Structure 1
Amino acid sequence: MATFFLVIIYLAFISLGLPDSVLGAAWPVMQADYGVSLDTAGLLSMSIAGGTIVSALASGKVIGRFGTGKVTLVSVFMTAVALLGFHFAPSLVWLFLCAIPLGLGAGSVDAGLNNYVATHYKAHHMSWLHCFWGIGATLGPIIMSQFISTQNSWRNGYLTIALIQFALVVVLFLTLPLWKKVGGSGKEERKEVPGSAPQEPGEQQKKAKPLRIKGVKLAMASFLLYCGAEAAVGLWGSSFLVAVKDLPAGVAAQWVSLYYAGITAGRLITGFITFKLNNMALIRSGLLISLLGAVLAILPLPSIFLLSGFILMGMGFAPVFPCMIHETPVRFGKEHSQAIIGYQMALAYTGSTFIPPLLGLMAAHITIGIFPFFIVILVAALFACSERLNILMKKGILFKGTKRNTTAM
């Protein structure tokens, strides 16, 4: 029963990934249809992520009242309706209106499911959870590129993805009793798991407000930088390939899908590597690999190296987000993890809200050719934040409320 419940959670993460990568893949064609500037995609992305920030910040109260199952069901339904709205949108105004439910549909379920897996399962389950997000994020550009290449229709691409979301809504509705039986409400999910390490923090740490715990703000900054970099590659990768590398729009969308495929495959592989390496080592190695990929996109090398650069950026990004999430209860304690993960998700979406539009604004006034340099700067800053957290961890400055790899399954 618990394994089947985990599969349902994985399916929910496919639904989270599907819409995330579609706008960037479709934008070179959408931009021409609507006759708008390049950086408009950044404003749309900002609108989507803004709604997600709001729902992520409210995730604790919403999940506590309605339970993760109902929140997940409603959230996926909202994204399905929003994507259907993109298909029918007669003007840019309608796209911005549909962006609101698309964003609101993601935040609460994202924070809730991440905290549940972080506190109840081992690191490999967290990596595989986000691998399923990668499956959705990879399928999005593949579907869109197929319709753009064969029908020159981005609208039918959105329609197909909306129908997939509606199919997931049906699955979630039929399995809703299972959420109540196995997962319970958000309050029940935060109970101790049999076999987990006992927590004995001092009274001061118990009473500490999450934002005042040492290292929390640095961890939040890490999420902002990571999601900003990941979203920027997904949103502007196609435009960079079309405008600077002279690739057809359909081919560019396929290349971006390989970037997301790199994230997906990397997280599948990472799930097995977690048996040998800890989260800190995986984060460090992943960031170095992604940095190499961004550098390859800068260098004037043959196309195969450019394609390899996009795949390496995806492979490098793969372990970073799930490992940072899984470290949260280790670094700051289970009793603080739901609140802190909610804050981290809010900062993550803040990064994906403002950083890609910032790149788009700069590109509109300079050139989209700055794209790989921008990514290098973000990854380097993230690496610095990550290493600083590692130093604090080694010195014992961070509050350690949970031992590593002691949770169920």
Structure 2
Amino acid sequence: MPMFFLISIYLAFISLGLPDTLLGSSWPFITVAFNIPVGHGGFIAMIIALGTIISSLLTHILVKRLGTGKVTVISVTMTAVALLGFSMAPSFGYLIVFAIPLGLGAGAVDSALNDFVARHYAAKHMNWLHSFWGVGALLGPALVALLTNQGYSWRSGYFSVSIIQFALVALLLSSLSMWKKFEVTENHNEDNPINPQPNGMFSPFKAKGALLALMAFFLYIVVEGTLGLWGASYLVATKKVLPQVAAAGVSFFFLGLTAGRMLSGFASTKFSNETLIRLGALLVIGGLMVLLLPLPNFMIIFFLVVIGLGLAPIFPSLLHQTPIYFEGHDTQAAMGLQMAFAYTASIIMPPILGQLFSRVSFSLLPMTLLLCALIMLICTNRLASIHAN
């Protein structure tokens, strides 16, 4: 398999992560520029997320008609144009308009690439690719900070990422012939058990353990998303940690998540996906239990890293299991459903739990996430037993 082709997929995953964190890091500047309330950022984030859900559910149809390569090129082009639109938007209304193609493009390329990698690459690449997504997610805010500190506008951050995306489009266009080779092989291999004939968007629900798999994705995102969004508030409210230290702690959590996926790639050559999922879930459960204890700040941050390391292999390993868990069904549609469940969890659960914690007590955070992690472990263990043979 040509190295150039593999490199283009890795770069595509970095480009997936870049826009995901741009909105949050740029929003303080945008609110001043357009003289709008801070809360308006939620509308933009909601539109983007809804776009990703819709395109995730429809991607399998596009892939069957156009192929993964063309869908990826079109999707990245949409995100590049949308980001360019953000950089040139004269008012808030234009941000709403450009949020639509940004969400649709991001969801389509995410589902298409995850499905392609799950069917054609070893588990180590799925872990490493999601680690590269984390690199992109870390680079987005860093780029905004660098440019604004140099005196440039927030627009320069969106413009720069847009140029990067357009460069990736050119790279992907040059690799289209390689994508086609895979598609020709698939179309002529009627007996391929991991690429069955199309049989409907919701046919994956008929697979054994389908709801368990979807629930596992949902609960994983609840844990990761809630800890990422409300972790610092929990530390300040219940552990009396300084805000600066709390922010650093959450940064270390994401660092553990990103580094953990790189390490999981190596571990996947020795252990099965299901073993990594189980070990990761146990680490998360242990880390959340420790957060309930009265510990010094450095120990709290250490165990946030542990939780990040535990979460690291779960999502990519579950994705890589898709052709197995949904064998005999439309795995492309299954991938879209899983991504849609994940995006739905990211939209609804962190805000709901944030309201609960702020109205009752942030001390509920580790106990709530501990319950989610335990149910997730039960779901994944049950899935493993169903597909043991």
Please classify the TM superposition score into its range, dividing by the shorter chain length. 0.7 to 0.9
Contact 1:118 1:326 in 2 (8 A): yes
Q: Deviations over 1:65-115 (max 9, x none)?
A: 333333323333433454456567787666554443332121111111111
Q: Which residue of 2 aligns with 1:106?
A: 106
Identify which of 262, 272, 282 aligns with 2:256: 262
Contact 1:238 1:253 in 2 (8 A): yes
2:173 maps to 176
Quote the RMSD (CA, aligned, Å): 3.8
Give the conservation status (yes or no) of the 8 Å contact 2:22–2:158: no
Listed as ranges, the matches of 1:237-276 within 5 Å are: 237-240=231-234, 245=240, 247-248=242-243, 254-276=248-270
In 2 relative to 1, CA 306–385 (structure 1 residues): closer, same or farther, beyond 3 Å?
same
Aligned-partner residue type, residue 60 of structure 1: H
1:167 partnered with 2:189: no
Q: Deviations over 1:33-58 (max 9, x none)?
A: 85446xx7666544322110100011
Quote the Cα distance in structure 1 between the aligned partners of 2:288 and 2:151. Answer: 30
Q: CA–CA distance in 2 between the matches of 1:294 and 1:146?
A: 34
Write the distance in 2 (CA, Å) between the matches of 1:121 and 1:202.
18
CA contact (8 A) 2:80 2:165 kept: no
Distance 1:166 1:131 in 2: 22
Q: Give me the whole-angstrom Cα distance separating, in 2, the residues matched to 1:104 and 1:285.
A: 34
Which residue of structure 2 aligns with residue 405 of structure 1? Answer: none
- What is the match of residue 286 of structure 2? 292
- Contact 1:210 1:339 (8 Å CA) reproduced: yes
Q: Are the equivalent residues in 1 in contact too, given 2:241–2:297 (CA < 8 A)?
A: no
Q: Is the 8 A contact 1:25 1:238 kept in 2?
A: no
- Are residues 144 and 303 of structure 1, via their aligned partners in 2, closer, same or farther at CA, if it must alter by over 3 Å? farther
Equivalence for 1:218: 212
Task: Give yes or no for contact 1:67–1:185 (8 Å, CA) kept in 2.
Answer: no
Work out the CA distance in 2 between the residues paired with 1:126 and 1:202.
Answer: 21
Q: Determine whether 1:73 maps to 2:36.
A: no
Q: CA deviation at 1:350?
A: 1.4
The more displaced of 64-73 and 4-13 is 64-73
8 Å CA contact 1:18–1:161 kept in 2: the answer is no
Q: Distance in 2 between matches of 1:305 and 1:192?
A: 56
Deviation at 1:341, TM superposition (A): 1.2
284 and 111 in structure 1: CA distance in 2 versus 1, 3 angstrom threshold? same
**Distance of aligned partners of 1:120 and 1:202 in 2 relative to their CA distance in 1, 3 Å threshold:** closer
Q: Is the 8 A contact 1:141 1:256 kept in 2?
A: no
**CA–CA distance in structure 2, aligned partners of residues 259 and 296 of structure 1:** 15
Structure 1, residues 140-179: CA drift from partner, whole Å, max 9, x if none?
344456678x5899x63x7425513421321331441312
CA distance in 2, matches of 1:260, 1:219: 24
Task: Report the counterpart of residue 311 of structure 1 in structure 2.
Answer: 305
Instruction: Give 1:124 shift.
Output: 1.1
Question: What is the aligned partner in structure 2 of residue 52 from structure 1?
Answer: 52
Taking structure 1 as reference, are residues 202 and 172 closer, same or farther at Cα in structure 2, changes over 3 Å only?
closer
CA deviations on 1:97-137 (whole Å, 9 max, x unpaired) are: 44433321211111111111111111111111211112112
Change over 3 Å in CA distance of 1:379–1:89 after alignment to 2: farther
Contact kept, 8 Å, 2:280 with 2:312, in 1: the verdict is: yes
Scaled by the length of structure 1, what TM-score is found? 0.79
TM-aligned CA distance change 1:301 to 1:202, over 3 Å: closer
Quickly say closer, same or farther: Cα 1:24–1:209, change in 2 above 3 A: same
Other structure's SS at 1:275 match: coil
Secondary structure of the residue aligned to 1:300 is coil
CA deviation after TM superposition for structure 1 residue 334, in Å: 6.5
| Matched residue, 1:404 | none
Distance 1:234 1:167, change over 3 A: same
Aligned partners of 2:7 and 2:235: how far apart in 1?
36
**Percentage of identical aligned residues:** 41
User: CA, structure 1 residues 328+372, in 2 after alignment: closer, same or farther (shift >3 Å)?
Assistant: same
Query: Which runs of structure 2 are paired with 1:292-371 in the superposition (5 Å)?
Result: 292-333=286-327, 336-368=330-362, 370-371=364-365
Q: Do the aligned residues in 2 keep the contact of 1:211 with 1:217 (CA within 8 Å)?
A: yes
Q: Distance in 2 between matches of 1:302 and 1:308?
A: 10
In 1: Cα distance, 2:10 partner to 2:331 partner: 21
Gaps of 5+ in 1: 397-409
1:316 offset after TM fit, Å?
1.1
Q: Which amino acid aligns with 1:166?
A: I
8 Å CA contact 2:119–2:194 kept in 1: the answer is: no
CA distance in 2 between partners of 1:126 and 1:374 (Å): 29
SS at match of 1:184: helix
Q: Partner letter of residue 312 of structure 2?
A: A
Mark the CA change 1:54 to 1:122 in structure 2 (over 3 Å): closer, same or farther: same
1:374 matched to 2:374: no
The gaps in structure 2 that reach 5 residues or longer are none
Name the SS for the 2:116 alignment partner: helix
The 1:143–1:271 alpha-carbon spacing in structure 2 relative to 1, beyond 3 Å, is same
Report if the CA contact (8 A) 1:47-1:99 is conserved: yes
Residues 1:216 and 1:341: Cα distance change in structure 2 (over 3 Å): same
Taking a change above 3 Å as real, the CA distance of residues 137 and 375 of structure 1, as seen in their structure-2 partners, is farther
Q: TM-score, normalised by structure 2?
A: 0.82
